[in-house]
Amino acid sequence: MEEKLEIWSSNLGYPRIGEKRELKKALEGYWQDKVTDEELKQTATSLQERIWETQKQAGIDFIPVGDFSLYDHMLDISINFGFIPKRFRQQTIKKELELYFTMARGAKNVPPLEMTKWFDTNYHYLVPEIDTPPKLLGNPILTLIKKAIALNIQPKPVLVGPYTFLTLSKVPEGKDKFWVLPKLLEVYKEVLKQWAMAGAKWVQIDEPALVLEMSGEEIKVVKDIYHNLSSPDINIMLQTYFEGVDFYPEIAKLPVQGIGLDFVRSHNNLENIKKYGFPKEKVLGLGIVNGRNVWRTNLTHAFALAKEIIDIAHPKAVFVQPSCSLLHLPISIELETKLSSEVKQILAFAKERLQEVAILTQALRKGELPAGSFAGSPEVHPLKEVKEKIAQLKSEDFERAEPYEKRFLKQQKVLNLPLFPTTTIGSFPQTKDVRQKRARFKRGEIDQQEYSQFLREKMAFCIGIQEGLGLDVLVHGEFERSDMVEYFAQKMTGFLVTQNGWVQSYGSRCVRPPIIYADVSRPKPMTINEICYAQSLTPKPVKGMLTGPVTILNWSYVREDIPRKEVAFQIALALRDEVLDLEKAGIKIIQIDEPAFREGLPLKKEKRKSYLDWAVKAFRLSNAPVKPQTQIHTHMCYAEFKDIIEAIDAMDADVISIECSRSKGDVISIFETYHYKKGIGLGTYDIHSPRIPKKEEILATLKRCLKVLAPQQLWVNPDCGLKTRQWEEIIPSLRNMVEVARELRDSL
C-alpha cells in the first residue's frame, strides 16, 4: 500500500510592526532618545514571541524564525555577515545598535545604505554594499531557535539565499556580482550548521530572485550554490515566490529537500509540474493562499487546486503555506471596528491567512473540506453607469483633440509663462499643527467650518510665500491630505479605508493601502473647493493637484473579479470628472501625479508591454477631453526610466517633472539619445535632505539639462513634494532656485 502523504502547515513570514504599531513607536522613540536600548529590545522580543504564539494558536506546524527584523531583513544579513561598507567601518560606535541604525538611516556626513523596492512589492529593503569579503559577526537567529524550541515551537529559520542576496546587492565598479560567493558560502554553511545543532530540522532559504529573468551563467551559479550548501544536517526548503520559476527543470533537480512554489501568482508553476513532474524525494512547499492581496480565499477552489497539484506532483510531503511572506498584508481584520460585517466577511489579512492555511492543511489530510467553508467571492454591487461608460469607450476618449505642438502655442497664449518657468511639485510642510488639526477634525472635536477655516489660512500663507519667492506656477500646498492616495480613496465609491491596516513600507514607516472592492465613481467634487480658494488669492496660475489612476491602483489592494486594467479605467473616469470640473472652474494647469507608474511593471518581461499599454491609456483617459489650452502636468519620483521612456512620452502630458538627484542626475542622460519634445522639469535639488542647495549646484543641474533639452521645454522645480521639510529649509532653497532660473533667463 502507498504510504500516507505527510501534510504540514507552514508559514513564510509575518508582519513585524505589531498590532498597535509597537515596533514603530519603539523605534521612533529610540531615535529620539526617549526609549533605551533595553526597552527597544524588550519590545522586539515580546512582539516576536506574540507573533510565534499567534501562529502556534492558529495551528501552524512550521513557524518562521528570523523573519522578524528591527528594521530590515537584508540589513540584518549585511550586519551579521560582515558586509559593513567602509564609510561605516570608519565610524566610532558608542552604542550597540548605533552601527545598525547608521547603516539604515545615515549620520552626519555618512549617507545610509540605499533603499529600494523588494521586487514588485511596496516593501523597501536596504541595498547591501559588498566592498569587503564576508565574515560571520553574529548569528542572532541561533538564540531565537533555542528560545522557540523551549517554547514548544517548531522553528523554521528563514534566511535570504546567497543568490538573491548577491543579485540584490551592489558591488564596487569593476567587480563581478558574485565575487565574494565562495567565502559567503562558507558563512552560510557555518550558520546552517549552528542552526542544525540547535535543533532546527528545516531551514527556509528565500530565493525570490529565481523568478526573475536569469541567464545560463546565473543558473550555473545557483547550481554551484546549492551543491555547496546541501548537507545531511538540515533540510533546505528552497523558497521562491512572487512569480513562477523559468528554469523549473534545473531548480527541481537541485540537491535540496524541499522546493517552495507560488501557485497563486503563477500558473506557470503548475504547468511546469505537469510538463516535467516533481521530484518524488522532495517536499513541496505549496503556496496556496494569497500573501499579496486581502480577499478571503475561496476554500473550495483552493482545496481543489491543492489536490490537483498534489496528485500531479506526488511529492514526498507537503507544506501547505501562503504564496509568500505575510509581511505584505495588514495584521488582522479583527482590528477593524468600523467596517461592516458584510465587508469583513470577504477580507482576510495576515492572521486570517494563517487560519486558512490551517483549514486547508486539515482538509487535505482528511480528504475533504469541513462543511460551510467559505466558497464565496466578493459580493460587489455593480454600478451600472460605470460599466456602461467603460463599455462605450472609444479611441477618441484617449486622445487630446490637438497634438502637443499646437497645444503648446495655445497654452503659452493663456499662461504667458517666461522661459524656464519655476514651480514646485505640490505639497508644502505637513507641520504638527496641520496633523493635529486633521486628527481633531477626524475625532469630531472640531467642526467642518473650523477645519476649513484652518486650511484656508494655511493655503493663504502658502500662496503668500510662493508669491513672495516669485515662483511662476503656484500650488495650494495639499494641507488637507493625509496621504495622496488615501485622500482620494475616501472621496470615491468602491474603496474601503481601514483604521489599522498598516503595512510596513520601510523601517518604521507604514502605509495603509485602501482596498478597492467595488466599482469606482466620484459622487462629488474632491478638490475644487481648495484649489479654487487658492486660485482666488493670486493672479498667478495655481495647479489643480490630483493623484493619477495608475498610482491609486498600484498603491491599493485591488479586487480580482475584473482585470486591473478595467479598475484603472474606472478610476481614470472618476478623475476625469474632477479634471473637467477644475477646468470649468477656471483652473488652467492640472497636475496628475503618477509616482507609482513604474512600480506596477510586472516582474516578467513578457507581461510588461500589456501593462504599459493600459497604464498609459488610463492616464490619458483621465484628462484627454480637456481643452487644448489646459495644460496637463504629471510627476514621477525616481525610477529607472530607460526602459519606459517611450511609455512616458506616450502619456502625452504637456509637462512632466521627474525626481533627479537620487540617480545623481542619471535620468538626464536618457535624453541624449531619446528625443523628448514636451515640457519637462528634472528635479534641481534633493528634497530628502534638510540641506539648502547652493545656487551653483542648481545651475549646474540646469546646464546639464540644457545640453540635451531645448530652453523652451525646460521647467525648474525641486525633485519632489516638500511635505516632509521645514519652512526654514524650503524658503531659502526655493529662493536660490528662483534666482538661478531668473539669471539663466537673463543670460540668454
Q: Which of 203, 496, 687, 720 binds Zn ion (CB under 5 A)?
A: 720
Helix axes 181-198, 140-150, angle to 10 degrees: 20
- Please state, in angstroms and as integers, the Cα–Cα distance from residue 725 to each residue in 118, 437, 688, following that order: 26, 19, 8
How far apart are the C-alpha atoms of 740 and 745, rounded to whole Å?
8
How far apart are the C-alpha atoms of 492 and 501, rounded to whole Å?
19
How far apart are the C-alpha atoms of 608 and 176, rounded to whole Å?
28
Instruction: Provide, rounded to whole angstroms, the least separation between the CB of residue 715 and ligand GLN.
Output: 15
Q: Which is nearer to ligand GLN, 484 or 705 (CB)?
A: 484
Piece of 228-236, 353-361, 692-700, 716-724 that binds ligand GLN (CB under 6 A) = 716-724
Q: Which is nearer to ligand GLN, 352 or 686 (CB)?
A: 686
- 637 is a contact residue toward Zn ion (CB under 5 A): yes
Distance of CA 505 to the CA centre of its chain: 6
DSSP track, 54-98: HHHHHT-SBEEES---SS-HHHHHHHHTT---HHHHTS---STTH
Q: Which of 531, 637, 714, 716 binds ligand GLN (CB under 6 A)?
A: 637
Interface with ligand GLN in residues 516-575 (CB under 6 A):
545
The closest alpha carbon to 331, from 72, 50, 30, 70, belongs to: 50
Q: Which is nearer to ligand GLN, 157 or 683 (CB)?
A: 683
Distance of CA 84 to the CA centre of its chain: 26
E strand intervals along 115-249: 115-117, 124-126, 155-160, 202-206, 235-239
- 484 is a contact residue toward ligand GLN (CB under 6 A): yes
Binding residues for 5-methyltetrahydropteroyltri-L-glutamate: 21-24, 117, 122, 509-510, 555, 599
Q: Which is nearer to Zn ion, 484 or 624 (CB)?
A: 484
Strand partners, 265: none
494: left (phi over 0), alpha (psi -120 to 50) or beta: left
Helices (H), 472-539: 486-489, 528-536
Q: Closest residue to ligand GLN, Cβ-based?
A: 721
Kind plus residue range of the DSSP H or E element containing 661: none
Piece of 139-147, 221-229, 310-318, 420-428 that binds ligand GLN (CB under 6 A) = 420-428
Interface with ligand GLN in residues 583-602 (CB under 6 A):
593, 595
Q: Which of 559, 620, 635, 662 binds ligand GLN (CB under 6 A)?
A: 635
Q: Which of 18, 162, 258, 426 binds ligand GLN (CB under 6 A)?
A: 426
- 320 is a contact residue toward Zn ion (CB under 5 A): no
Instruction: Provide, rounded to whole angstroms, the least separation between the CB of residue 67 and Zn ion.
Output: 31
Catalytic residue among 227, 301, 381, 688: 688
Instruction: Provide, rounded to whole angstroms, the least separation between the CB of residue 736 and ligand GLN.
Output: 19
CA angle 491, 638, 576 (to 5 degrees): 30
- 721 is a contact residue toward ligand GLN (CB under 6 A): yes
CA angle 79, 82, 87 (to 5 degrees): 80
Active site (annotated) includes residue 381: no
- 720 is a contact residue toward ligand GLN (CB under 6 A): yes
Q: Which is nearer to Zn ion, 501 or 595 (CB)?
A: 595
- 289 is a contact residue toward Zn ion (CB under 5 A): no
- Site for ligand GLN (CB under 6 A): how many residues? 13
CB 239 within 8 A of CB 206: yes
Instruction: Provide, rounded to whole angstroms, the least separation between the CB of residue 425 and ligand GLN.
Output: 4
How far apart are the C-alpha atoms of 553 and 596, rounded to whole Å?
9
Instruction: Provide, rounded to whole angstroms, the least separation between the CB of residue 58 and ligand GLN.
Output: 37
Distance of CA 626 to the CA centre of its chain: 31
Question: What cell numbers appear for 230 in the block?
Answer: 546541501
Interface with Zn ion in residues 576-615 (CB under 5 A):
595
Piece of 85-93, 103-111, 190-198, 714-722 that binds Zn ion (CB under 5 A) = 714-722
Interface with ligand GLN in residues 240-269 (CB under 6 A):
none
CA angle 416, 421, 427 (to 5 degrees): 115
- 425 is a contact residue toward ligand GLN (CB under 6 A): yes
DSSP track, 375-422: ---------HHHHHHHHT--GGGGS-SS-HHHHHHHHHHHH-PPSS-B
Place of cell 492581496: 293
- Work out what residue 723 binds among ligand GLN, Zn ion, none; the CB cut-off runs from 5 to 8 Å by kind: ligand GLN
- Work out what residue 427 binds among ligand GLN, Zn ion, none; the CB cut-off runs from 5 to 8 Å by kind: ligand GLN
Q: Which is nearer to Zn ion, 112 or 548 (CB)?
A: 548
What is the Cβ-side half-sphere exposure of residue 658, based on CA atoms within 13 angstroms?
27
Question: What cell numbers appear for 551 in the block?
Answer: 498610482
- Work out what residue 616 binds among Zn ion, ligand GLN, none; the CB cut-off runs from 5 to 8 Å by kind: none
DSSP track, 94-141: -STTHHHHHHHH-BTTB----EEE-TTSS-EEEPPB--S-------HH
Instruction: Provide, rounded to whole angstroms, the least separation between the CB of residue 428 and ligand GLN.
Output: 8
Binding residues for L-homocysteine: 425-427, 478, 593
| CB neighbour class for 664 (10 Å; exposed up to 12, middle 13-18, buried from 19) | exposed
Instruction: Provide, rounded to whole angstroms, the least separation between the CB of residue 94 and ligand GLN.
Output: 35
- Work out what residue 593 binds among ligand GLN, Zn ion, none; the CB cut-off runs from 5 to 8 Å by kind: ligand GLN
- 7 is a contact residue toward Zn ion (CB under 5 A): no
Binding residues for Zn(2+): 635, 637, 659, 720
- 682 is a contact residue toward Zn ion (CB under 5 A): no
- 330 is a contact residue toward ligand GLN (CB under 6 A): no
Residues in touch with Zn ion (CB under 5 A): 595, 637, 720
Residues in touch with ligand GLN (CB under 6 A): 425-427, 478, 484, 545, 593, 595, 635, 637, 720-721, 723
Residues annotated as part of the active site:
688
